[in-house]
Amino acid sequence: MRDSFKHSMILLVVLLLAGGVIIAGCTTTTPSQPATPAAEKPKLLLATTTSLYDTGLLNYLEPKFEAKYNVDLLITSQGTGKAIELAKKGDADVLLVHSPSQEQTFLEDGYGLNRRTFANNSFIIVGPANDPAGIKDKDPLVAFKAILIKGKAGNASVMFVSRGDGSGTHTNEQSNWKAAGYDYAKDVQKSGNWYIEAGKGMGETLQMASEKGAYTESDEGTYLAYAGKLNLTIIVKKVDAPTLMNIYSVMTVYPANPQPEKIAMANNFVNWIISPETLTDIGNYGMEKYGKSLFTPFTLGVPKGVTADFTTPATATRPLKVYHAGSLATSFGKLEKMFEKAHPDVDVQLFSGGSAALVDKVTKSNQKADVLASADYSLIPKYMVPNNATFYIDFAKNAMVLCYTDKSKYANETTADNWYKILGRFDVKYAISDPKTDPAGYRSLMTIGLAERKYGDATIFSTLVTPYSKLNKTVSGGVWTIDATNPSPDGKKLTITATGPDIAPLLKDGKVDYAFEYSSVAIQSGLKYITLPTDIDLSDPKMEATYKTIQVKRPSGNTTVTEVGLPIVYAVTVPVSARTPDMGYEFTKLLLGSDGQAVLNADGQTPIVPAEAFGTVPDAIKPVVTVKA
């Protein structure tokens, strides 16, 4: 509305000036020269969340940016989900939102670059002063649980109004229901009159909750801006609660047909937002009116557990999307910095996960990765060649180990000879990663299976795995097959995480005693570990015939596939669908060269020197590899 008014006024002034010229021409015999119109300012389209707009912060900042860059900043304020959809359509140049999970998906889908996370405030639960659910100052998840239980029980005074609009606040609310133990679609949404979806912005949702005497989740800034108009008070506020952390990020939109001048101006906005001067303005905003800042810039401290880049200048004009195994996260983080230093016009975007899941994203979900690095080399020739890749390069080795900490039960007794007996004790807990999607997960099962032959004990798998999951082993023709199509761990004896790196926090927090993991991840995570015999640790190419006697069946899309025991070798490729294959080749060369080898060595992995390439190898990569037939 404000922008429409501004543009209408400009048009009116132009018409009045034009009318003045015509009148002046009628009062003189000398024809007047037509007025030279002032050059129109370039326009920058900003899609943002309602919380930044409703608090007045953007009204405060807008003229400062416009004055510095002589640009007309046009702001569209919607929920994060709608703002992202606008950006995807190319109707925004900059995105300024607060939903990390949605932002990551936006980047992974290839629509953005130069994401910078720069400030935070807290989500809060507000409600009527009489607090009918009795949740005052409770843990946030306890509070959500109490609201649901009392609301569904028919307590007419307990209601919850949700944004219900796919915004960052709505996304966080859904995460809280999940963390509290509920399935949002099944247990919460449409579960009764107690739960109301507003489908509106934060300000209007607060007003609806006030009118109904209901609870709602809000960012603190918008609540304070509206507090004088509401019959609501803060019921739950936990500044240090991870589930109520509200993180703000800005990024340049990368449309299907990027225009260099638009990318440059969007980068100017990103750099301006993260500049010390603007972050100081953000930190001061609200002090005079509310006695406190509505937003905390990261210059005053990054919240615990949050990874944020708010100092690196936004210079990139194109993204480079890299899929990599979770066990490569530390190494690839180092390579990212090296590559961007050498190529300041490129934003390296790292996406980690189970290698099988990443391969599926390229082959089944049409994701366009510029580089894909798998912890299991065999996945590339089996599932990507020839339609999605024409070559692959083996570049590193690893080994399975058994990790533990000083907190682990019987840690002082556990050895490479008796570890399976220790794991079998009733009070010992252990973890593996997901065998459906992560090679470390199915390799953990292979290691346990191979241990039966190594130690001459045919009960190891049935003792450690089968009673605590739906994982079973069958034997046919000397080959053991483990069915991992539906693992279903009990979560007590056996825990299964999404990826290998997710295991380290469980060990360090004492939630499990032991875990199967790659030796490199153990080293990077500072974990103690037991080196297992080469007969079972999948590290020795000479033992390939032994490893092949065990295999794991896992789901893949609507079917099942079987992974055969093989030595642990990592491989990399540049998929056929890469958007910037030239930069993909350059990143691959960095990984395979001396700098990449040094990084891998430092992180506990053994590089293959020179790396071994198979298939139709691009000429750009041939100088750093040995091409195999």
Largest CA distance in the chain: 114
Token reading at 63: 């003229």
Task: Tell me what pLDDT residue 402 has.
Answer: 98
Task: Tell me what pLDDT residue 157 has.
Answer: 96
Amino acid at 187: D
Label residue 296 by pLDDT band (50, 70, 90): very high
Mean pLDDT of the chain: 92
222 in a domain, yes or no? yes
Same structural domain, 515 and 579: no
293 in a domain, yes or no? no
Task: Tell me what pLDDT residue 13 has.
Answer: 33
542 in a domain, yes or no? yes
What CATH number should be reported for the domain holding residue 622?
Answer: 3.40.190.10
Same structural domain, 555 and 436: yes
Task: Tell me what pLDDT residue 11 has.
Answer: 34
Same structural domain, 381 and 519: no
Q: What is the mean pLDDT of residues 148-153?
A: 96
Task: Tell me what pLDDT residue 289 has.
Answer: 87
The residues near 209 (Cβ < 8 Å, ≥ 6 apart) are 126, 127, 161, 215, 216, 230, 232
277 in a domain, yes or no? no
| Domain endpoint, select from 515, 531, 564 | 564
Label residue 535 by pLDDT band (50, 70, 90): very high
Label residue 50 by pLDDT band (50, 70, 90): confident
Q: What is the pLDDT of residues 197-220, one digit of tens each?
A: 999 999 999 999 999 999 999 999
Label residue 37 by pLDDT band (50, 70, 90): low
Count other C-beta atoms under 10 Å from residue 570's C-beta: 30
Same structural domain, 343 and 425: no
Q: What is the pLDDT of residues 270-291, one digit of tens each?
A: 999 999 999 999 999 999 888 8
Its pTM stands at 0.89
Q: What is the mean pLDDT of residues 238-252?
A: 91
Same structural domain, 408 and 476: yes
Among 7-21, 319-333, 360-374, the least confident range: 7-21
223 in a domain, yes or no? yes
512 in a domain, yes or no? yes
Q: What is the pLDDT of residues 226-239, one digit of tens each?
A: 999 999 999 999 87
pLDDT higher than threshold 50 for residue 495:
yes
Task: Tell me what pLDDT residue 5 has.
Answer: 35
Task: Tell me what pLDDT residue 304 has.
Answer: 84
Among 22-26, 69-73, 538-542, the least confident range: 22-26
Interior/surface letters 241-275, b for 16+ CB within 10 angstroms, e for the rest = eebbbbbbbbbbbbbeebeeebbebbbbbbbbbbe
Q: What is the mean pLDDT of residues 183-187?
A: 95
Among 9-13, 62-66, 291-295, 331-335, the least confident range: 9-13
283 in a domain, yes or no? no
Q: What is the mean pLDDT of residues 521-549?
A: 96
- Is 162:170 a contact under the CB 8 Å cutoff? yes
Same structural domain, 221 and 232: yes
Same structural domain, 167 and 18: no
Looking at the structure of the chain, the number of domains it has is: 4
| Domain endpoint, select from 214, 244, 274 | 244
Same structural domain, 597 and 560: no
Q: What is the pLDDT of residues 112-138, one digit of tens each?
A: 999 999 999 999 999 999 999 999 999
pLDDT higher than threshold 90 for residue 52:
no
Name the percent of the chain lying above pLDDT 70.
Answer: 94
| Domain endpoint, select from 564, 582, 601 | 564
Residue 541 belongs to what domain range? 401-564
How far is it, in rounded angstroms, from Cα 132 to Cα 156? 10
pLDDT higher than threshold 80 for residue 34:
no
Q: How far apart are the first and last CA of the chain?
A: 66
33 in a domain, yes or no? yes
Same structural domain, 580 and 616: yes
Q: What is the mean pLDDT of residues 372-385?
A: 98
Same structural domain, 413 and 560: yes
Same structural domain, 552 and 586: no
Same structural domain, 522 and 405: yes
